[in-house]
Chain A
Amino acid sequence: MSRLARTLLLWLIAGAFALPLAWMVLGSLAGTESLASATPRLLPRSPGSALEQAARNYVGEVGPGGETITRGVWTDPVVDFPTSLRNTLVIVMLGTAGMVASCALGAYGLARVRWRGRRAVLLLMLLTMLLPFPVVMGPLYILFRELGWIGTLRPLWVPAWLGAGFGTLLVRQYMLTLPRELDDAARLDGCSHWGVFVRVILPLCAPALAAVAALHVLATWNDFLGPLIFLQRREQFTLALGLHAYQTQAGQVPWNLLMAACVMVVAPMALLFALMPRAWGAAQAAE
């Protein structure tokens, strides 16, 4: 293949990958009627009309007295987007803080402390990554029910405080690349293991910790099965679950509103991906 042909082929494929996302954005900017036909009109008539329609779809129209004229995603009480967003942010922030902390701890224990059981722990971690979630989801539900956590957000962030095999291995891999002399020097100066961990190793691991954080944010934001099982009431739903409820509710929601909701759910993660391509580099180092 010539260089030109390869470039064109790559661009064609990249375009095919981007097309569904472009359709999603265009759909979110369209009027209800223009999508409800056998030949949907996706391209807006003018930028001005698209903006107007966007305001209607995303926010809705509010009259001078504060009454709702048309419901957009943000103001639709049926989907209650602001509450779902808040729930998602709570789970993401609480969970990510715990995930980063416990993965860093475990990684130090495996990478910088020489002890007898570390091989066994390492092997155990690798094995847990093979365990499908459906194997444990029933007993987990019963456990959380006994704890009185069903119907709260706790099942979705408390377990993150006890870490995960993948994140721990990722940080461990990174710690192994740091020179051992660092520890030895600090130990000679009278530092305990805790001191070495907090003052010497942790600051140097920032890239790996950022990667763990980014991957956990992504996983939690995207999680569907967990919220589906552990959450019950509408006011606890996460964005992913709320979006599904919005789509399945009786009295079909028009596609332009659903696409606007999709854009709002997708945009933060797309931004994270665009800003943090290195998270993938770090993730693959753990392979």
Chain B
Amino acid sequence: MTAPRHGTRATGVGLAFCAPWLLGFVLFIAGPAITSLWASFTDASMVEPARQVGGANYARLISDTLFWRTLAQTTAYALVLSGLGTGGALALALLLRRRPRGAGVARLLILLPAAVPTAACGVLWIWLLSADYGPVNSLLSRFGVRGPGWLVSPAWVPVSLVLVGLWTIGPSVIILEAALGRVPRSLEEAASLDGAGRTARVWRIVVPAIAPVLLFVLVMAMIVGFQAFAVPFVLLGAEGGPERSGLLLAGYIYQTAFARLDLGYASAIAWVQLLVVLALSLVLCRLSRRTAFGADPEGAP
């Protein structure tokens, strides 16, 4: 890759083509990221010049019970939503794979909610999940079920957030369905000649074959879940709803930076968020590598 034959002229041309992105990277990504790292060691506010405070912001995090609650709520939300979402998307992709009657329309209906802007999604679900006059509880009551206070009971708020999140798994379904389509038929046929039943073929041949894509979908869903902001904000308000049961990290950072104008502390929380996201992604990749290579010793005939 570093062969000298590329020459300095080629380097100039390459740099020129990449110049817009590189400039944007410095101005809007690297610059602000470094500034926020620096700010996390100061008492920077949105309005006044900053003073160095060393690790005080990080020390404050340790005793901030709201931070720990928010971190726990966000982790639970991201893990449950990405797990259920990826599992559900896999199930739907497997259903679609056999091209049942009307698969095209069904696929579009499943994908469509992902086109709904997050603000509209929030406004829509406030009405749908309203305890007293919402269509969801009204539908439940027809079956004799007394619907819960989806958005007013602290115990149900996390459930509602996951439910609304699951509504938008369409893109994951499409990605997994495409990956299933690339699994060679011959693999399955060989297994079926060896006497493997349909369930065994799916779980021991087809699903392991798409393991890398499955992992990609899972990690992306987790990263997105960890950064969720708009839906909880619109659905439950800036403070995160009853007893802040729906306050997630991004919302807490937003509140700290833009309502309390405490940029230094907000930056410290944001960097912790970044580190947790990176750590979780790494752990997932590690775990999956072990299982992907360890699984199914008699898979190959």
- A interface residue numbers (CB < 8 A to B): 3, 6-7, 9-11, 13-15, 17-18, 20-21, 23-24, 27, 35-40, 42, 101-103, 105-106, 108-110, 113-119, 121, 124-125, 128, 130-143, 159, 161-165, 168, 193, 197, 218, 221-222, 224-225, 228-229, 239-241, 243-244, 247, 255, 258-259, 261-262, 265-266, 269-270, 272-274, 277, 280-281, 283-284, 287
A243-B120, A265-B120, A266-B115 as given contacts; A23 in contact with B128, CB under 8 Å: yes
Main secondary structure of the interface of B (DSSP, over half): helix
Assuming A7-B102, A162-B21, A162-B27, is B115 touching A273 (CB within 8 A)?
Answer: yes
The reply to whether B135 and A23 contact each other, CB–CB distance below 8 Å, is yes
Contact B132 A255 (CB under 8 A): no
B59-67, B189-197, B274-282, B292-300: which lies at the A interface?
B274-282
Interface residues on B, range: 35 or more
A258 touches B133 (CB 8 A): no
Residues of A within 8 A of B138 (CB): 38-40
Which B residues lie at the A interface, using CB under 8 A? 1-2, 6, 10-11, 13-25, 27-29, 31-33, 35-36, 39, 46, 92, 95-96, 98, 100-103, 105-106, 108-120, 122-128, 132-133, 135, 138, 141, 167, 170-171, 174-175, 178, 213, 216, 223, 226-227, 229-230, 233-234, 249-250, 253-254, 257-258, 263, 266-267, 269-271, 273-274, 277-278, 281
Compute how far the CA of A108 lies from the CA of B263 in the bound complex, rounded to whole angstroms. Answer: 39
Least CB distance from A57 to B in Å reads 14
Cβ–Cβ contact A125 & B15, under 8 A? no
Which residues does chain A contribute within 8 Å of B20, judged by CB atoms? 101-102, 105-106, 161-163
Tell me the minimal C-beta distance from A191 to chain B in angstroms.
13
How far, in Å, is B14 (CB) from chain A's closest CB?
Answer: 3
| Interface contacts beyond A106-B18, A222-B117: sample of 18 additional A-B pairs, CB < 8 Å, sorted by A | A20-B124, A27-B127, A115-B11, A116-B6, A128-B25, A132-B250, A134-B229, A134-B249, A142-B35, A163-B24, A197-B17, A224-B230, A229-B254, A243-B120, A247-B234, A265-B119, A273-B112, A280-B175
Instruction: Please tell me if the beta carbons of B123 and A244 are within 8 angstroms of each other in the complex.
Output: yes
Q: Within the assembled complex, what's the spacing in Å between the Cα atoms of A191 and B23? A: 27
User: In the complex, which residues of chain A have a beta carbon less than 8 angstroms from the beta carbon of B46?
Assistant: 138, 141-142
Report if A259-B115 is in contact (Cβ < 8 Å); known contacts: A102-B20, A131-B33, A132-B273. no
5 nearest interchain CB pairs? A162-B24, A109-B17, A115-B14, A139-B32, A136-B32
Query: What is the distance, in angstroms, from B91's C-beta to the closest C-beta of chain A?
Result: 9
Contacts known (A225-B229, A240-B119); A7 close to B100, Cβ less than 8 A: yes
Question: How many angstroms between the C-alpha atoms of A87 and B151 in the bound complex?
Answer: 32
Contact A20 B113 (CB under 8 A): yes
> Shortest beta-carbon distance, B76 to chain A, in Å?
18
A27: which B residues are within 8 A, CB to CB?
127, 135
Instruction: Give the chain B neighbours of A35 by CB distance below 8 A.
Output: 133
Q: Which residues of B contact A133 (CB under 8 A)?
A: 227, 250
